[in-house]
Structure 1
Amino acid sequence: MKTFSLLLLVVSPLSIVVNARSNIRDAPSTTVDIQDGQTGVVMVVPPRRTDTGTKRIPDADHPFIAPGPNDMRGPCPGMNTLANHGYISRNGITTFEEIIEGTGEAFNIDLTMGVGMAALNMLARGNAFVNKISIGGISPLVPPLPGQIDGPETRGIAAHGRGEGDASMTRSDVHIGDNRNFNQTLWDEDLEVLAQFGDDGPDGPATVFNLQTLIELKRQNLESDQVLDPEFAIPIRRYNLVFGTTGLATKRIISSFFMNQTFPDNWFRAAAPVLGGPVPGEILAALPEWVPGHNDENGVFVADPQAPAPFNISLTCATYWDNFANAVPATLVNVTGVFKQNVDMLEGLLFNASGCAEPVAPAGPTNV
């Protein structure tokens, strides 16, 4: 029986193969850069971990503590779980380095994958000058970009449109419901699919999420939301799911993450660093009727234009183009000082991962 984990961590490139060494800074710069009353913080790619075997998670230093009323939480069960256990800041305001280190320690996400996830989210929804990002919504702890070049607020990864999008397993589309918090009705529908297609496991019959279950779940999510959401959209960057961590994706394990946003009892991280896998591609291949697209004014689903040459050579390269053309704000092109150092590093990491022959400058809309 083929087994794998279902945990959706964050929206990120479908395939991350980062040549991180060429972008690592051995230590933060001591240069002080103040812009618009904010002090710049130079980002540094953390060193590759040497402790990469399996271990029980959480350990005694990371107990579950439910979030308080001012703590940020968002649509990603993985990030919420990390915050609830203190693998990233419990208030939900985190940094580039902390995302990489937290996902590495708790989920054994390989450095190269962690770097790509953190870089994209920081460019699209964080403040890359002060190195802060909210895993939920707007927070006074994450100021607007200097000069408010992306609007008067930094919105966090829960904001719709750049990374967060439609057809979630456990969150409503933003145009028809709550896109941030767990939706029991959607989860009950997911469990009906599991009961029909799942494998038998240690917790009983039809309790293991196999590949067919995931295919049918995604088919159900796409078909339902396309009908219910008049503004439904699934751009190519939204096709990016990250799977991996445990060896067996059971109803008990996945329910713990999705419903309670805590690690299951007696849970162990992966025995080797996780660097993607074939499952997302296999899901896409099984759903050829679904291509990147959106509903038109009549509620009819229409395909998006393909990425232009030379970015149409692969799904990964097209995704890279889509992120920079539509999700990373164009105003990042003209930043200076430490801000530019950080943006250049993050852009370089993602270009290295893309497989594209040439880079794309940020060109996305601002204040969205």
Structure 2
Amino acid sequence: MKLLTILANLGLAAAVACPHRKLKEAGLLNEAVLAKYEELKRDGGHIEQRSSNGLLSPSTLSGLSLPLGGGLVNGVLQPFTGRLSFLVPPTPQSFGLKAIPGTDINHRYIAPGANDRRGVCVALNTLANHGYISRNGITTWAEAANAIQTVFGFGYDMAAILSAVGLIAGGDLITGKYSIGGADSRVPDNLGPSLGLDKHGVCEVDNSITRVDTYFGNQANFHLDRWQALLNDVAAHGNLFSQAAFTVEKKRSYDDSRATNPVFDAGPKWFVIAHGERVFIYRTMLNGTSPDTAPDFGNVGPFFLNETFPHNWFRRPTPFPFADFLVDITSLYLGSPVELGVNEGLDNFVPLGTDPSVMTPSQIACFVLENILDEAPGSFSRVVVDNYDIVQGFLNGAVAPFFANYNCDLQNYTVPSASAGEETTGSSSDDGPAIVNGVYQR
């Protein structure tokens, strides 16, 4: 399986563009990393800051070319050319403590209508309900990336990567459009069917917080019983949606899926998505007026139960960058480490032999990049094989530049994966799209 080849190519120096304090907290700062960190510190700043001062090219990132434009200049994505010339990149947004939505009437809550798309991501649903992205649920790479910066305080790199993953997995590269729910005719099919974010394995995987595994039904639907199980874990941890609470919830949910779902998939993509969705809650749904305190029910409940903002809610005062995300998902995993693998029938779990607990943050970063480069092509129609230069041009220009500091070997990920051509359409909630107190309104 090509997903595992990265493990044979990870003879990496542990040079990480991560804050010293967070690495120490996560127990990931060994002597080699510490020495490298101090070297970078004496040299006037992080490697991330230095390497972004110029357009990334084969001379600065081995194996990376930019045939369709893109790349970074001073940390900002540049325009695309050729077939991607209509693609608008995200732009950095301002940060700082700010009431969201505050008194801005343009961002008041409006319940979605019958023709509006909503999906498995409560954050995107909330953004659409408040008009930070198109209220019909058809968004773009730039619009969604800019919105999650403005509203949730995601760093520019984190926002651009997240929205790019949504686009390549469920949208139309030529126009940059994608549905935050299921497939929709308003998203063009220039490279084959645009399946939407609700396609299983894109933004939703087995072992989700409030959705059932796809094997048991429509994974787009919110389930109150799963929410209540989470609340029980939260209650046992000071009524806070903290890392400690999710350490328990994640393990409990994993054990349940592994025991009951004969096709349970806890592979590499699961590692990133399952841990990421939990980290986002306690890092970006907290009230910015108390940035060092995990969110409570008053902060998190409105997002999940009504897909709206809490009363008097403020975004976090500082950006949440990709480097912090890597440390956080690793730290959450280490709190209750489990085997990566898949069920081939009940009581027949096949381990993949991949152990994130022994990876450095650089290796985790390359692990994330590998999944984007290797798995994304499988989300397109078979026609993408004949147009893979477009896909590769986007990945090289929009995603890979943010990984320049991690010394990832890109040579192995320049052709469509074996799964290219799969066409499993995503599904929007079959009871929605409006939700009130956790109950869909027909």
- Shorter-normalised TM range: 0.7 to 0.9
Specify the structure having the higher radius of gyration (Cα).
Answer: 2
For 2:10, the equivalent position in structure 1 comes to: none
Q: How does 1:58-77 map to 2 (within 5 A)?
A: 58-59=101-102, 60=104, 61-77=106-122
| Mapped contact 1:162–1:326 kept (Cα < 8 A) | no
CA distance in 1, matches of 2:165, 2:328: 21
- Which secondary structure state, in structure 2, belongs to the residue aligned with residue 94 of structure 1? strand
Structure 1 residue 293, shift from structure 2 partner: 0.9
For 1:225, the equivalent position in structure 2 comes to: 257
The alignment's C-alpha RMSD in Å is 2.8
- Of the candidates 144, 156, 181, which is equivalent to residue 136 of structure 1? 181
| Mapped contact 1:124–1:327 kept (Cα < 8 A) | yes
CA distance in 2, matches of 1:125, 1:354: 27
Structure 1 residue 93, shift from structure 2 partner: 0.8
1:65-109: CA deviations, max 9, x gaps?
Answer: 111111111111111111111111111111111111100111111
CA distance in 2, matches of 1:46, 1:154: 20
When normalised by structure 2's length, the TM-score is 0.67
For 1:335, the equivalent position in structure 2 comes to: 387
For 2:311, give the aligned amino acid: D
1:28-68: CA deviations, max 9, x gaps?
Answer: 66x7x6xxxxxx6532333323x211100013121111111
CA distance in 1, matches of 2:169, 2:247: 28
Is structure 2 residue 115 aligned with structure 1 residue 44? Answer: no
Structure 1 residue 274, shift from structure 2 partner: 1.3
- Of the candidates 211, 214, 222, which is equivalent to residue 171 of structure 1? 211
Relative to structure 1, is the Cα distance of residues 336 and 185 closer, same or farther in structure 2, using a 3 angstrom cutoff? closer
Structure 1 residue 340, shift from structure 2 partner: 6.5
Structure 1 residue 164, shift from structure 2 partner: 2.3
Is structure 2 residue 234 aligned with structure 1 residue 156? Answer: no
Structure 1 residue 154, shift from structure 2 partner: 1.4
Relative to structure 1, is the Cα distance of residues 233 and 354 closer, same or farther in structure 2, using a 3 angstrom cutoff? farther
Structure 1 residue 342, shift from structure 2 partner: 3.6
CA distance in 1, matches of 2:377, 2:403: 13
For 1:287, the equivalent position in structure 2 comes to: 336
Q: How does 1:16-27 map to 2 (within 5 A)?
A: 22=55, 23-24=71-72, 26=78
Q: How does 1:74-85 map to 2 (within 5 A)?
A: 74-85=119-130
Is structure 2 residue 388 aligned with structure 1 residue 358? Answer: no
For 1:235, the equivalent position in structure 2 comes to: 267
Relative to structure 1, is the Cα distance of residues 45 and 267 closer, same or farther in structure 2, using a 3 angstrom cutoff? same
Q: How does 1:139-288 map to 2 (within 5 A)?
A: 139-146=184-191, 148=192, 153-196=193-236, 198-199=237-238, 207-240=239-272, 241=276, 242-243=279-280, 244-245=283-284, 246=286, 247=291, 248-275=294-321, 276-277=324-325, 278-288=327-337
- Which secondary structure state, in structure 1, belongs to the residue aligned with residue 342 of structure 2? strand
CA distance in 1, matches of 2:418, 2:143: 26
For 2:351, the equivalent position in structure 1 comes to: 303
CA distance in 1, matches of 2:259, 2:388: 45
When normalised by structure 1's length, the TM-score is 0.80
Structure 1 residue 358, shift from structure 2 partner: 2.5
For 1:249, give the aligned amino acid: P
1:249-282: CA deviations, max 9, x gaps?
Answer: 1012111111111110000000111113443222
Question: Which consecutive residues of structure 2, in runs of 5 or more, have no partner in the other structure?
Answer: 1-47, 56-70, 424-442
Is structure 2 residue 363 aligned with structure 1 residue 318? Answer: no
For 1:284, give the aligned amino acid: Y
| Mapped contact 1:88–1:94 kept (Cα < 8 A) | yes
Relative to structure 1, is the Cα distance of residues 334 and 305 closer, same or farther in structure 2, using a 3 angstrom cutoff? farther
Relative to structure 1, is the Cα distance of residues 353 and 161 closer, same or farther in structure 2, using a 3 angstrom cutoff? farther
Relative to structure 1, is the Cα distance of residues 208 and 161 closer, same or farther in structure 2, using a 3 angstrom cutoff? closer
CA distance in 1, matches of 2:184, 2:164: 20
Structure 1 residue 334, shift from structure 2 partner: 4.2
CA distance in 1, matches of 2:300, 2:221: 16
Relative to structure 1, is the Cα distance of residues 345 and 144 closer, same or farther in structure 2, using a 3 angstrom cutoff? same
For 1:86, the equivalent position in structure 2 comes to: 131
Relative to structure 1, is the Cα distance of residues 353 and 217 closer, same or farther in structure 2, using a 3 angstrom cutoff? farther
- Which secondary structure state, in structure 2, belongs to the residue aligned with residue 175 of structure 1? helix
Relative to structure 1, is the Cα distance of residues 254 and 364 closer, same or farther in structure 2, using a 3 angstrom cutoff? farther
More helix by share: 2
For 2:92, give the aligned amino acid: R
1:162-219: CA deviations, max 9, x gaps?
Answer: 44211011111111022112110101111111222x22xxxxxxx2123221100101
CA distance in 2, matches of 1:116, 1:47: 12
- Which secondary structure state, in structure 2, belongs to the residue aligned with residue 335 of structure 1? helix
